[in-house]
Amino acid sequence: MGLEGKLVYLREEMEEDIEKQKDLRNDLSTQGWNKALPPDYTLSMYKERFEKRKFSFDRTDGRFTVISKDTDEYVGHISYSDYEDRFSAAIGVVIDKSFWGKGMAYDAQEVLLKFLFLELGVQVVRIWTESGKEHAVDLAKRSGFKISGKLRNTIYKGGTIKSTLIIDLLREEYFALHPEFEDKLPSIE
């Protein structure tokens, strides 16, 4: 089994997930930040992306499917990207609207954060989202993230101009919120 939380487990993405991923990616309400508008991702694009993924011991990303522990249903997907060895990573979570408000996005985020800080040893995790996505900002803040930057007027969507928010969580902040885990890496000075 993959990574396990209280409500969900994260497993490697499989071909059977592709259509659901495409549908969530094309729904503007489930996207926290989308540089490519309009969302016109096709099934063949997602299949090509899946098939091009190569085995590597030097990965800069990880993509997981979020599954409900209670029902074994597809909940959504979560990923990390832009991984710089022992330094940083960016994460993104996309949850089907039928699971919103049930704690599954938070649980999936916490599972991935634990993996990134404890297993990969990152110093900072970042989230990029757009202004106006309060559910995405609130989810990040629940895990201790703070808004660290704003790129003003970067997105035109739905007839309005929005800004890009940069939200991050530092290693020491994560471990301060999780005293049940020991930080075994030396601190950076």
Question: What confidence tens digit (pLDDT) does each residue in 70-124 have?
Answer: 999 999 999 999 998 889 999 999 999 999 999 999 999 999 999 999 999 999 9
Please state the φ and ψ torsions of residue 156, each to the nearest 5 degrees: -110, 115
Residue 182, domain member (yes or no): no
- The structural domain count of the chain equals 1
Query: 63 by DSSP, 3-state: which?
Result: strand
Residue 7, domain member (yes or no): yes
By mean pLDDT, which of 10-24, 48-62, 174-188 is the weakest? Answer: 48-62
Residue 88, domain member (yes or no): yes
Domain holding 88, by residue range, is: 3-128
CB 189 within 8 A of CB 153: no
